[in-house]
Structure 1
Amino acid sequence: MKCVHIYQKFVYKCRQVASFCRHTRTPLALSLDTLYLKRGPFVAVSGDGLRLRIKPRSGESFTFYENMVRHDYLIDGITLRPGATVVDIGANIGAFAVMAASIVGPRGRVIAFEPIPETFERLRENVALNGLGQVECRRAAIDAEEGEIALRVAAKSSGATAHRITRLGDDQHARVETAPCLTLNRVFEEYQIDRINLLKVDCEGSEYGIFDSLDPGLAARIDQVAMEVHAVEGKSTERLGERLRTLGFDLRRSYLWYLWVAFNAAGHPAGDRVG
Protein backbone atom coordinates (compact mmCIF):
# COMPACT_ATOMS: atom_id res chain seq x y z
CA MET A 1 0.00 0.00 0.00
CA LYS A 2 2.88 2.34 0.84
CA CYS A 3 4.44 1.68 -2.56
CA VAL A 4 1.16 2.60 -4.26
CA HIS A 5 1.04 5.87 -2.33
CA ILE A 6 4.63 6.72 -3.27
CA TYR A 7 3.92 5.92 -6.92
CA GLN A 8 0.78 8.08 -6.95
CA LYS A 9 2.68 10.97 -5.38
CA PHE A 10 5.45 10.59 -7.96
CA VAL A 11 2.96 10.61 -10.84
CA TYR A 12 1.25 13.71 -9.43
CA LYS A 13 4.54 15.58 -9.15
CA CYS A 14 5.42 14.59 -12.71
CA ARG A 15 2.14 16.13 -13.86
CA GLN A 16 2.99 19.32 -12.01
CA VAL A 17 6.40 19.45 -13.65
CA ALA A 18 4.83 18.92 -17.07
CA SER A 19 2.38 21.76 -16.39
CA PHE A 20 5.20 24.05 -15.32
CA CYS A 21 6.99 23.30 -18.58
CA ARG A 22 3.91 24.05 -20.67
CA HIS A 23 2.39 26.98 -18.81
CA THR A 24 5.13 28.97 -17.04
CA ARG A 25 8.22 30.98 -17.92
CA THR A 26 10.27 29.53 -15.06
CA PRO A 27 9.78 25.77 -15.41
CA LEU A 28 13.23 24.75 -14.20
CA ALA A 29 13.08 26.59 -10.86
CA LEU A 30 9.51 25.48 -10.18
CA SER A 31 10.25 21.88 -11.12
CA LEU A 32 13.36 21.73 -8.94
CA ASP A 33 11.43 23.14 -6.00
CA THR A 34 8.59 20.65 -6.53
CA LEU A 35 11.19 17.88 -6.30
CA TYR A 36 12.77 19.49 -3.18
CA LEU A 37 15.99 20.28 -5.06
CA LYS A 38 15.82 24.09 -5.05
CA ARG A 39 17.90 25.81 -2.40
CA GLY A 40 17.43 29.55 -2.70
CA PRO A 41 14.36 31.79 -3.04
CA PHE A 42 13.28 32.68 -6.56
CA VAL A 43 10.66 34.54 -8.54
CA ALA A 44 8.24 32.24 -10.36
CA VAL A 45 6.69 33.65 -13.53
CA SER A 46 3.42 32.43 -15.02
CA GLY A 47 2.75 32.11 -18.72
CA ASP A 48 0.93 35.45 -18.50
CA GLY A 49 3.97 37.11 -16.95
CA LEU A 50 2.63 37.27 -13.38
CA ARG A 51 5.32 37.03 -10.71
CA LEU A 52 5.38 35.39 -7.31
CA ARG A 53 8.36 35.32 -4.96
CA ILE A 54 8.77 31.75 -3.70
CA LYS A 55 10.53 30.33 -0.65
CA PRO A 56 12.06 26.96 -1.51
CA ARG A 57 10.79 23.72 0.03
CA SER A 58 7.84 25.52 1.59
CA GLY A 59 4.98 24.27 -0.57
CA GLU A 60 4.69 27.66 -2.26
CA SER A 61 5.39 26.22 -5.69
CA PHE A 62 2.21 24.21 -5.24
CA THR A 63 0.36 27.39 -4.25
CA PHE A 64 1.63 28.91 -7.49
CA TYR A 65 0.48 25.81 -9.38
CA GLU A 66 -3.01 25.85 -7.85
CA ASN A 67 -3.63 29.51 -8.57
CA MET A 68 -1.56 30.53 -11.57
CA VAL A 69 -1.47 27.30 -13.57
CA ARG A 70 -4.51 25.21 -12.64
CA HIS A 71 -6.71 28.21 -11.64
CA ASP A 72 -8.50 26.24 -8.92
CA TYR A 73 -10.84 29.09 -7.97
CA LEU A 74 -11.86 29.84 -11.54
CA ILE A 75 -13.53 26.54 -12.42
CA ASP A 76 -17.03 25.06 -12.52
CA GLY A 77 -18.60 28.18 -14.00
CA ILE A 78 -16.87 30.83 -11.87
CA THR A 79 -16.29 33.91 -14.03
CA LEU A 80 -14.43 37.21 -13.81
CA ARG A 81 -14.26 40.22 -16.09
CA PRO A 82 -12.54 43.61 -16.14
CA GLY A 83 -13.96 45.97 -13.55
CA ALA A 84 -15.12 43.24 -11.14
CA THR A 85 -14.80 43.43 -7.35
CA VAL A 86 -13.11 40.46 -5.65
CA VAL A 87 -12.75 39.82 -1.92
CA ASP A 88 -10.00 37.34 -1.01
CA ILE A 89 -10.30 35.93 2.52
CA GLY A 90 -7.15 34.03 3.43
CA ALA A 91 -4.96 35.61 0.76
CA ASN A 92 -1.78 33.82 1.87
CA ILE A 93 1.22 35.09 -0.15
CA GLY A 94 -1.02 36.57 -2.83
CA ALA A 95 -1.14 34.00 -5.63
CA PHE A 96 -4.89 34.27 -6.13
CA ALA A 97 -5.04 38.02 -5.47
CA VAL A 98 -2.37 38.69 -8.11
CA MET A 99 -4.05 36.44 -10.66
CA ALA A 100 -7.50 37.92 -10.00
CA ALA A 101 -6.16 41.47 -10.22
CA SER A 102 -4.66 40.71 -13.62
CA ILE A 103 -8.16 39.80 -14.85
CA VAL A 104 -10.21 42.60 -13.25
CA GLY A 105 -7.65 45.17 -14.38
CA PRO A 106 -7.16 48.75 -13.17
CA ARG A 107 -10.92 49.42 -13.21
CA GLY A 108 -11.49 46.48 -10.89
CA ARG A 109 -10.82 45.93 -7.23
CA VAL A 110 -9.29 43.13 -5.17
CA ILE A 111 -9.50 43.35 -1.38
CA ALA A 112 -7.18 40.79 0.22
CA PHE A 113 -7.16 39.73 3.88
CA GLU A 114 -4.36 37.75 5.53
CA PRO A 115 -3.93 37.56 9.34
CA ILE A 116 -0.42 36.13 9.84
CA PRO A 117 2.17 38.97 9.96
CA GLU A 118 5.00 37.48 7.91
CA THR A 119 2.60 36.00 5.38
CA PHE A 120 0.89 39.37 5.09
CA GLU A 121 4.23 41.02 4.30
CA ARG A 122 4.81 38.42 1.59
CA LEU A 123 1.36 39.21 0.20
CA ARG A 124 2.19 42.91 -0.02
CA GLU A 125 5.57 42.13 -1.56
CA ASN A 126 4.04 40.00 -4.31
CA VAL A 127 1.35 42.57 -5.06
CA ALA A 128 4.04 45.27 -5.36
CA LEU A 129 6.19 42.96 -7.50
CA ASN A 130 3.42 42.97 -10.09
CA GLY A 131 2.60 46.68 -9.81
CA LEU A 132 -1.05 46.05 -8.95
CA GLY A 133 -2.51 49.23 -7.51
CA GLN A 134 -6.02 47.77 -7.62
CA VAL A 135 -5.20 45.34 -4.79
CA GLU A 136 -5.94 46.52 -1.24
CA CYS A 137 -4.19 44.40 1.41
CA ARG A 138 -5.17 44.25 5.07
CA ARG A 139 -3.79 42.19 7.92
CA ALA A 140 -6.95 40.78 9.42
CA ALA A 141 -8.94 37.61 9.84
CA ILE A 142 -12.61 37.37 8.88
CA ASP A 143 -14.95 35.39 11.13
CA ALA A 144 -18.23 35.55 13.04
CA GLU A 145 -17.27 38.30 15.49
CA GLU A 146 -15.18 41.45 15.49
CA GLY A 147 -12.26 41.97 17.84
CA GLU A 148 -9.02 40.03 18.13
CA ILE A 149 -8.47 36.41 17.23
CA ALA A 150 -5.73 33.95 18.26
CA LEU A 151 -4.36 31.69 15.54
CA ARG A 152 -2.07 28.73 16.03
CA VAL A 153 0.78 28.39 13.54
CA ALA A 154 2.35 24.93 13.35
CA ALA A 155 6.02 24.69 14.24
CA LYS A 156 6.96 23.44 10.78
CA SER A 157 5.24 26.36 9.13
CA SER A 158 6.88 29.67 8.35
CA GLY A 159 3.37 31.11 8.33
CA ALA A 160 3.50 31.32 4.56
CA THR A 161 1.18 28.38 3.96
CA ALA A 162 -2.33 29.10 5.19
CA HIS A 163 -3.39 25.46 5.33
CA ARG A 164 -1.02 25.01 8.26
CA ILE A 165 -2.76 27.66 10.31
CA THR A 166 -5.39 26.33 12.69
CA ARG A 167 -7.28 27.59 15.70
CA LEU A 168 -6.66 24.42 17.66
CA GLY A 169 -4.01 21.77 17.52
CA ASP A 170 -1.84 19.38 19.49
CA ASP A 171 1.51 20.68 18.23
CA GLN A 172 3.29 21.57 21.47
CA HIS A 173 5.83 23.64 19.57
CA ALA A 174 3.30 25.72 17.69
CA ARG A 175 3.31 29.46 18.19
CA VAL A 176 0.25 31.62 18.60
CA GLU A 177 -0.32 34.77 16.58
CA THR A 178 -3.03 37.31 17.26
CA ALA A 179 -4.74 39.35 14.58
CA PRO A 180 -7.59 41.82 14.29
CA CYS A 181 -10.82 40.16 13.20
CA LEU A 182 -13.68 41.56 11.15
CA THR A 183 -17.00 40.18 9.99
CA LEU A 184 -17.90 40.12 6.32
CA ASN A 185 -20.72 42.51 7.22
CA ARG A 186 -18.09 45.00 8.41
CA VAL A 187 -16.06 44.51 5.24
CA PHE A 188 -19.04 45.57 3.14
CA GLU A 189 -19.43 48.67 5.30
CA GLU A 190 -15.80 49.76 5.68
CA TYR A 191 -14.88 49.26 2.04
CA GLN A 192 -18.19 50.67 0.78
CA ILE A 193 -18.78 47.65 -1.44
CA ASP A 194 -21.85 47.65 -3.65
CA ARG A 195 -21.42 44.10 -4.98
CA ILE A 196 -18.84 41.37 -4.54
CA ASN A 197 -18.54 39.69 -7.92
CA LEU A 198 -16.38 36.90 -6.49
CA LEU A 199 -15.77 35.97 -2.86
CA LYS A 200 -12.81 33.62 -2.48
CA VAL A 201 -12.49 31.93 0.91
CA ASP A 202 -9.64 29.80 2.26
CA CYS A 203 -9.45 30.46 5.98
CA GLU A 204 -9.03 27.13 7.77
CA GLY A 205 -12.45 26.77 9.32
CA SER A 206 -13.56 30.38 9.70
CA GLU A 207 -15.90 29.86 6.75
CA TYR A 208 -18.53 28.55 9.19
CA GLY A 209 -18.55 31.75 11.23
CA ILE A 210 -18.35 33.99 8.18
CA PHE A 211 -21.60 32.70 6.70
CA ASP A 212 -23.38 32.14 10.01
CA SER A 213 -22.96 35.85 10.79
CA LEU A 214 -23.55 37.17 7.26
CA ASP A 215 -26.57 39.43 6.89
CA PRO A 216 -28.98 37.97 4.28
CA GLY A 217 -29.32 41.36 2.63
CA LEU A 218 -25.56 41.51 2.11
CA ALA A 219 -25.45 37.89 0.93
CA ALA A 220 -27.76 38.95 -1.91
CA ARG A 221 -24.98 41.29 -3.04
CA ILE A 222 -22.47 38.46 -3.54
CA ASP A 223 -22.55 36.99 -7.04
CA GLN A 224 -20.21 34.02 -6.65
CA VAL A 225 -18.34 32.15 -3.92
CA ALA A 226 -15.31 29.88 -4.39
CA MET A 227 -14.47 28.37 -1.03
CA GLU A 228 -12.29 25.70 0.50
CA VAL A 229 -14.24 23.83 3.17
CA HIS A 230 -12.37 22.36 6.12
CA ALA A 231 -13.39 19.73 8.63
CA VAL A 232 -13.62 21.43 12.02
CA GLU A 233 -14.55 19.73 15.28
CA GLY A 234 -18.04 20.76 16.33
CA LYS A 235 -18.91 22.14 12.89
CA SER A 236 -21.08 20.52 10.23
CA THR A 237 -20.42 20.82 6.50
CA GLU A 238 -24.05 19.83 5.93
CA ARG A 239 -25.22 22.72 8.05
CA LEU A 240 -22.85 25.06 6.21
CA GLY A 241 -24.41 23.96 2.94
CA GLU A 242 -27.89 24.55 4.33
CA ARG A 243 -26.86 28.01 5.50
CA LEU A 244 -25.58 28.93 2.04
CA ARG A 245 -28.84 27.79 0.46
CA THR A 246 -30.82 29.75 3.05
CA LEU A 247 -28.80 32.83 2.10
CA GLY A 248 -29.90 32.35 -1.50
CA PHE A 249 -26.97 30.54 -3.08
CA ASP A 250 -27.08 27.71 -5.58
CA LEU A 251 -24.42 25.41 -4.14
CA ARG A 252 -22.27 23.10 -6.26
CA ARG A 253 -19.40 20.81 -5.41
CA SER A 254 -16.26 21.17 -7.47
CA TYR A 255 -14.31 18.28 -8.95
CA LEU A 256 -11.84 19.18 -6.20
CA TRP A 257 -13.49 17.51 -3.20
CA TYR A 258 -12.56 20.27 -0.76
CA LEU A 259 -13.70 23.18 -2.95
CA TRP A 260 -17.28 24.43 -3.06
CA VAL A 261 -18.63 26.94 -5.55
CA ALA A 262 -21.86 28.86 -5.03
CA PHE A 263 -23.81 31.25 -7.20
CA ASN A 264 -26.37 33.86 -6.25
CA ALA A 265 -29.68 32.26 -7.12
CA ALA A 266 -31.00 35.63 -8.30
CA GLY A 267 -28.50 35.39 -11.16
CA HIS A 268 -25.99 38.19 -11.40
CA PRO A 269 -23.52 37.32 -14.20
CA ALA A 270 -20.06 38.53 -13.34
CA GLY A 271 -17.93 38.07 -16.40
CA ASP A 272 -16.91 36.42 -19.57
CA ARG A 273 -13.87 34.40 -18.55
CA VAL A 274 -14.28 30.88 -17.24
CA GLY A 275 -11.24 29.37 -15.61
Structure 2
Amino acid sequence: MISRLVRGVRQLHRLPEVTRCAGSIRGWAGITSAYLGLTKLPYPARFEMRDGFVLPLESFHDLVTAWILFCRHEYEVPRDAKVVVDFGANYGAFAVLAARAAPHAKIVCFEPFPETFGRLQETIRLNGLEGRVTCLPVAVARQAGSALMNADPSIPSQSRGLGAASTAQATLEVRTLDLAGALEEVRRVTGTRRIDLVKMDIEGAEHAFLPEAMPDTLADIDAWQMEYHPNGPKQALFQALERSSLRLRHDQLDGENGGVAHFARARF
Protein backbone atom coordinates (compact mmCIF):
# COMPACT_ATOMS: atom_id res chain seq x y z
CA MET A 1 0.00 0.00 0.00
CA ILE A 2 2.76 2.45 0.97
CA SER A 3 4.76 1.68 -2.19
CA ARG A 4 1.72 2.39 -4.35
CA LEU A 5 1.15 5.67 -2.51
CA VAL A 6 4.77 6.68 -3.13
CA ARG A 7 4.44 5.88 -6.85
CA GLY A 8 1.28 7.98 -6.95
CA VAL A 9 2.97 10.98 -5.35
CA ARG A 10 5.76 10.77 -7.90
CA GLN A 11 3.17 11.13 -10.68
CA LEU A 12 1.66 14.40 -9.43
CA HIS A 13 3.15 16.26 -12.40
CA ARG A 14 0.68 14.32 -14.55
CA LEU A 15 -2.32 15.93 -12.89
CA PRO A 16 -3.31 17.93 -16.04
CA GLU A 17 -3.32 14.69 -18.04
CA VAL A 18 -5.40 12.96 -15.38
CA THR A 19 -7.87 15.85 -15.41
CA ARG A 20 -8.28 15.52 -19.19
CA CYS A 21 -8.73 11.78 -18.83
CA ALA A 22 -11.43 12.24 -16.18
CA GLY A 23 -13.29 14.65 -18.44
CA SER A 24 -13.37 12.50 -21.56
CA ILE A 25 -12.74 8.80 -20.75
CA ARG A 26 -15.22 6.34 -19.26
CA GLY A 27 -13.82 4.39 -16.32
CA TRP A 28 -11.07 6.99 -16.12
CA ALA A 29 -10.00 6.04 -12.59
CA GLY A 30 -9.09 2.48 -13.61
CA ILE A 31 -7.43 3.67 -16.81
CA THR A 32 -5.38 6.25 -14.90
CA SER A 33 -4.36 3.79 -12.22
CA ALA A 34 -3.21 1.28 -14.85
CA TYR A 35 -1.30 3.92 -16.82
CA LEU A 36 0.49 5.12 -13.68
CA GLY A 37 1.44 1.55 -12.80
CA LEU A 38 -0.63 1.45 -9.62
CA THR A 39 -2.86 -1.39 -10.87
CA LYS A 40 -3.13 -3.57 -13.97
CA LEU A 41 -5.84 -3.82 -16.59
CA PRO A 42 -7.11 -7.27 -17.61
CA TYR A 43 -6.16 -7.25 -21.31
CA PRO A 44 -7.79 -7.24 -23.76
CA ALA A 45 -9.44 -4.05 -22.53
CA ARG A 46 -11.20 -0.99 -23.93
CA PHE A 47 -10.35 2.71 -23.86
CA GLU A 48 -13.81 4.24 -24.16
CA MET A 49 -14.54 7.92 -24.70
CA ARG A 50 -17.65 9.54 -23.32
CA ASP A 51 -18.77 10.50 -26.84
CA GLY A 52 -18.81 6.88 -28.01
CA PHE A 53 -15.43 6.41 -29.67
CA VAL A 54 -13.47 3.41 -28.45
CA LEU A 55 -10.00 1.89 -28.77
CA PRO A 56 -9.40 -1.84 -28.28
CA LEU A 57 -6.34 -2.38 -26.09
CA GLU A 58 -4.31 -5.58 -26.27
CA SER A 59 -1.42 -4.55 -24.03
CA PHE A 60 -0.01 -1.86 -21.76
CA HIS A 61 1.80 -0.45 -24.81
CA ASP A 62 -1.59 0.18 -26.43
CA LEU A 63 -2.76 1.95 -23.28
CA VAL A 64 0.33 4.20 -23.32
CA THR A 65 -0.37 5.13 -26.94
CA ALA A 66 -4.00 5.97 -26.14
CA TRP A 67 -3.03 7.99 -23.08
CA ILE A 68 -0.39 10.02 -24.93
CA LEU A 69 -2.87 10.93 -27.64
CA PHE A 70 -6.09 11.52 -25.70
CA CYS A 71 -4.85 12.63 -22.26
CA ARG A 72 -1.43 14.16 -22.90
CA HIS A 73 -2.48 15.70 -26.24
CA GLU A 74 0.83 15.02 -27.93
CA TYR A 75 -0.67 15.88 -31.33
CA GLU A 76 -3.12 18.64 -32.28
CA VAL A 77 -5.61 18.21 -35.11
CA PRO A 78 -7.35 21.39 -36.36
CA ARG A 79 -11.12 21.11 -36.18
CA ASP A 80 -11.47 22.45 -39.73
CA ALA A 81 -8.97 19.97 -41.23
CA LYS A 82 -10.20 18.30 -44.42
CA VAL A 83 -7.30 15.92 -45.16
CA VAL A 84 -5.10 14.26 -42.53
CA VAL A 85 -2.29 11.77 -43.21
CA ASP A 86 -1.12 9.23 -40.62
CA PHE A 87 2.29 7.73 -41.36
CA GLY A 88 2.79 4.93 -38.84
CA ALA A 89 -0.87 4.42 -37.99
CA ASN A 90 -0.30 1.42 -35.70
CA TYR A 91 -3.62 0.13 -34.32
CA GLY A 92 -5.55 3.29 -35.24
CA ALA A 93 -5.49 5.47 -32.12
CA PHE A 94 -4.41 8.64 -33.96
CA ALA A 95 -6.89 7.98 -36.77
CA VAL A 96 -9.70 7.96 -34.21
CA LEU A 97 -8.28 11.10 -32.59
CA ALA A 98 -8.23 12.87 -35.97
CA ALA A 99 -11.74 11.73 -36.89
CA ARG A 100 -13.02 12.90 -33.52
CA ALA A 101 -11.23 16.26 -33.59
CA ALA A 102 -11.99 17.10 -37.25
CA PRO A 103 -15.48 15.77 -38.03
CA HIS A 104 -15.27 16.57 -41.76
CA ALA A 105 -11.76 15.26 -42.39
CA LYS A 106 -10.72 12.41 -44.64
CA ILE A 107 -7.90 10.44 -43.03
CA VAL A 108 -5.39 8.29 -44.89
CA CYS A 109 -3.46 5.78 -42.75
CA PHE A 110 -0.22 4.02 -43.68
CA GLU A 111 0.59 0.88 -41.67
CA PRO A 112 2.77 -1.80 -43.31
CA PHE A 113 2.92 -4.61 -40.74
CA PRO A 114 0.18 -7.15 -41.62
CA GLU A 115 -0.96 -8.05 -38.10
CA THR A 116 -1.03 -4.41 -37.00
CA PHE A 117 -2.78 -3.42 -40.24
CA GLY A 118 -5.54 -5.90 -39.38
CA ARG A 119 -5.91 -4.28 -35.96
CA LEU A 120 -6.03 -0.85 -37.61
CA GLN A 121 -8.88 -1.94 -39.87
CA GLU A 122 -10.76 -3.40 -36.91
CA THR A 123 -10.43 -0.15 -34.95
CA ILE A 124 -11.82 1.79 -37.91
CA ARG A 125 -14.74 -0.66 -38.27
CA LEU A 126 -15.43 -0.59 -34.54
CA ASN A 127 -15.88 3.18 -34.69
CA GLY A 128 -17.89 3.23 -37.92
CA LEU A 129 -15.26 5.29 -39.74
CA GLU A 130 -14.94 3.25 -42.95
CA GLY A 131 -16.39 6.10 -44.99
CA ARG A 132 -13.84 8.63 -43.76
CA VAL A 133 -10.66 6.63 -43.14
CA THR A 134 -8.62 4.86 -45.84
CA CYS A 135 -6.09 2.28 -44.61
CA LEU A 136 -3.10 1.42 -46.81
CA PRO A 137 -0.75 -1.53 -46.02
CA VAL A 138 2.31 0.48 -47.06
CA ALA A 139 5.38 2.02 -45.39
CA VAL A 140 6.85 5.36 -46.40
CA ALA A 141 10.56 4.89 -47.09
CA ARG A 142 13.49 6.16 -49.12
CA GLN A 143 12.31 4.45 -52.27
CA ALA A 144 9.30 2.62 -53.61
CA GLY A 145 9.37 -1.15 -53.70
CA SER A 146 9.84 -3.20 -50.55
CA ALA A 147 11.85 -3.24 -47.35
CA LEU A 148 12.45 -5.52 -44.39
CA MET A 149 10.58 -4.86 -41.19
CA ASN A 150 11.37 -6.27 -37.78
CA ALA A 151 8.92 -9.10 -37.07
CA ASP A 152 10.24 -10.25 -33.70
CA PRO A 153 7.05 -11.23 -31.81
CA SER A 154 8.50 -9.91 -28.53
CA ILE A 155 8.60 -6.35 -29.89
CA PRO A 156 5.43 -4.27 -29.44
CA SER A 157 3.88 -2.95 -32.63
CA GLN A 158 4.66 0.62 -31.56
CA SER A 159 8.39 -0.12 -31.79
CA ARG A 160 8.63 -1.95 -35.13
CA GLY A 161 10.78 -0.25 -37.72
CA LEU A 162 12.15 -0.68 -41.22
CA GLY A 163 15.70 -1.65 -42.06
CA ALA A 164 17.90 -4.69 -42.40
CA ALA A 165 17.67 -6.71 -39.21
CA SER A 166 20.33 -9.00 -37.80
CA THR A 167 20.13 -12.74 -38.44
CA ALA A 168 19.00 -13.17 -34.85
CA GLN A 169 15.77 -11.30 -35.57
CA ALA A 170 12.70 -12.29 -37.53
CA THR A 171 11.98 -10.07 -40.53
CA LEU A 172 9.11 -9.52 -42.88
CA GLU A 173 9.10 -7.89 -46.31
CA VAL A 174 6.62 -5.04 -46.62
CA ARG A 175 5.61 -2.78 -49.48
CA THR A 176 7.02 0.76 -49.57
CA LEU A 177 6.40 4.08 -51.31
CA ASP A 178 8.76 7.02 -51.31
CA LEU A 179 7.48 10.20 -49.68
CA ALA A 180 6.44 11.86 -52.93
CA GLY A 181 4.65 8.72 -54.06
CA ALA A 182 2.88 8.29 -50.73
CA LEU A 183 1.62 11.88 -50.80
CA GLU A 184 0.43 11.44 -54.37
CA GLU A 185 -1.51 8.36 -53.25
CA VAL A 186 -3.14 10.49 -50.55
CA ARG A 187 -4.16 13.04 -53.16
CA ARG A 188 -5.54 10.31 -55.39
CA VAL A 189 -7.60 8.86 -52.54
CA THR A 190 -8.92 12.20 -51.28
CA GLY A 191 -9.29 13.96 -54.65
CA THR A 192 -7.50 17.10 -53.50
CA ARG A 193 -3.92 18.36 -53.47
CA ARG A 194 -4.12 20.26 -50.20
CA ILE A 195 -3.17 18.31 -47.07
CA ASP A 196 -4.00 19.97 -43.76
CA LEU A 197 -1.86 17.78 -41.50
CA VAL A 198 0.73 15.04 -41.75
CA LYS A 199 1.42 13.07 -38.58
CA MET A 200 4.53 10.85 -38.69
CA ASP A 201 5.75 8.29 -36.17
CA ILE A 202 7.77 5.63 -38.00
CA GLU A 203 10.36 4.59 -35.43
CA GLY A 204 13.41 6.33 -36.86
CA ALA A 205 12.85 5.56 -40.56
CA GLU A 206 12.29 9.30 -41.09
CA HIS A 207 16.07 9.79 -41.12
CA ALA A 208 16.38 7.67 -44.28
CA PHE A 209 14.43 10.06 -46.52
CA LEU A 210 13.08 13.21 -44.86
CA PRO A 211 16.40 15.13 -44.89
CA GLU A 212 16.41 14.81 -48.71
CA ALA A 213 12.78 15.86 -49.21
CA MET A 214 12.43 18.54 -51.87
CA PRO A 215 10.38 21.67 -51.09
CA ASP A 216 8.00 20.89 -53.95
CA THR A 217 7.14 17.54 -52.33
CA LEU A 218 5.92 19.29 -49.19
CA ALA A 219 4.51 22.41 -50.83
CA ASP A 220 0.81 21.61 -50.34
CA ILE A 221 1.08 20.54 -46.69
CA ASP A 222 -0.15 23.04 -44.08
CA ALA A 223 1.16 21.32 -40.94
CA TRP A 224 3.56 18.52 -40.05
CA GLN A 225 3.74 16.86 -36.62
CA MET A 226 6.14 14.04 -35.91
CA GLU A 227 7.80 11.96 -33.27
CA TYR A 228 11.48 11.99 -34.21
CA HIS A 229 13.97 9.40 -33.02
CA PRO A 230 17.69 9.44 -32.11
CA ASN A 231 18.77 7.49 -35.21
CA GLY A 232 20.34 10.68 -36.50
CA PRO A 233 20.48 14.44 -35.85
CA LYS A 234 17.13 16.17 -35.65
CA GLN A 235 18.59 19.24 -37.37
CA ALA A 236 18.58 17.48 -40.75
CA LEU A 237 14.89 16.63 -40.33
CA PHE A 238 13.94 20.12 -39.21
CA GLN A 239 15.90 21.80 -42.01
CA ALA A 240 14.09 19.78 -44.67
CA LEU A 241 10.73 20.98 -43.35
CA GLU A 242 11.92 24.55 -42.99
CA ARG A 243 13.11 24.60 -46.61
CA SER A 244 9.45 24.16 -47.52
CA SER A 245 8.39 27.12 -45.32
CA LEU A 246 7.14 24.84 -42.56
CA ARG A 247 8.16 26.54 -39.31
CA LEU A 248 8.77 24.95 -35.93
CA ARG A 249 5.98 25.86 -33.49
CA HIS A 250 6.63 23.38 -30.70
CA ASP A 251 9.37 20.90 -29.81
CA GLN A 252 8.79 18.59 -26.87
CA LEU A 253 12.23 17.19 -26.16
CA ASP A 254 12.97 13.64 -25.06
CA GLY A 255 16.76 13.68 -25.16
CA GLU A 256 19.07 15.46 -27.59
CA ASN A 257 17.67 13.93 -30.78
CA GLY A 258 14.33 12.58 -29.68
CA GLY A 259 10.96 14.21 -29.15
CA VAL A 260 7.77 15.40 -30.77
CA ALA A 261 7.86 18.45 -33.05
CA HIS A 262 5.03 20.49 -34.53
CA PHE A 263 5.55 22.50 -37.71
CA ALA A 264 3.09 24.79 -39.49
CA ARG A 265 3.35 26.57 -42.80
CA ALA A 266 4.57 30.12 -42.65
CA ARG A 267 2.11 32.61 -44.12
CA PHE A 268 3.51 35.70 -45.79
Fold similarity call, TM over 0.5? yes
Query: What is residue 45 of structure 2 aligned with on the other side?
Result: 42
* Pair 1:71 & 2:70 matched: no
Q: After the TM superposition, which of the residue ranges 64-73 and 9-18 deviates more from structure 2?
A: 9-18
Q: In structure 2, what residue type is equivalent to 1:177?
A: L
CA contact (8 A) 2:44 2:58 kept: yes
Task: Determine which of 128, 131, 134 is the counterpart of 2:128.
Answer: 131
What is the deviation of 1:205? Answer: 1.3
What is the deviation of 1:65? Answer: 0.8
Q: Can you give the 5+ residue segments of structure 1 that lack an aligned partner in the other structure?
A: 268-275
In structure 2, do the counterparts of structure 1 residues 64 and 143 end up closer, same or farther at CA, with 3 Å as the change threshold?
same
- Compute the TM-score of the two structures, normalised by the length of structure 1: 0.80
CA distance in 2, matches of 1:168, 1:12: 41
Q: Can you give the 5+ residue segments of structure 2 that lack an aligned partner in the other structure?
A: none
Aligned partner of residue 213 in structure 2, secondary structure: coil
CA distance in 2, matches of 1:22, 1:125: 26
Task: Determine which of 44, 47, 53 is the counterpart of 2:56.
Answer: 53
CA distance in 2, matches of 1:18, 1:45: 16
Relative contact order higher in (CA < 8 Å, ≥ 6 apart) = 1
* Pair 1:25 & 2:47 matched: no
CA contact (8 A) 2:210 2:240 kept: yes
Give aligned-pair identity as a percent: 27
Task: Determine which of 95, 99, 108 is the counterpart of 1:101.
Answer: 99
Task: Determine which of 224, 244, 249 is the counterpart of 1:247.
Answer: 244
CA distance in 2, matches of 1:165, 1:17: 31
Query: What is residue 231 of structure 1 aligned with on the other side?
Result: 230
CA distance in 2, matches of 1:70, 1:186: 32
Residue-by-residue CA offset, 1:105-149 (whole Å, 9 max, x unaligned): 2x4210001111111111111111110120000111101211101
- Compute the TM-score of the two structures, normalised by the length of structure 2: 0.82
In structure 2, do the counterparts of structure 1 residues 214 and 8 end up closer, same or farther at CA, with 3 Å as the change threshold?
farther
Q: How does 1:187-226 map to 2 (within 5 A)?
A: 187-191=182-186, 192=188, 193-226=192-225
What is the deviation of 1:208? Answer: 2.4
Q: In structure 2, what residue type is equivalent to 1:84?
A: K
Aligned pair count reads 252
Q: After the TM superposition, which of the residue ranges 216-225 and 181-190 deviates more from structure 2?
A: 181-190
CA distance in 2, matches of 1:166, 1:137: 19
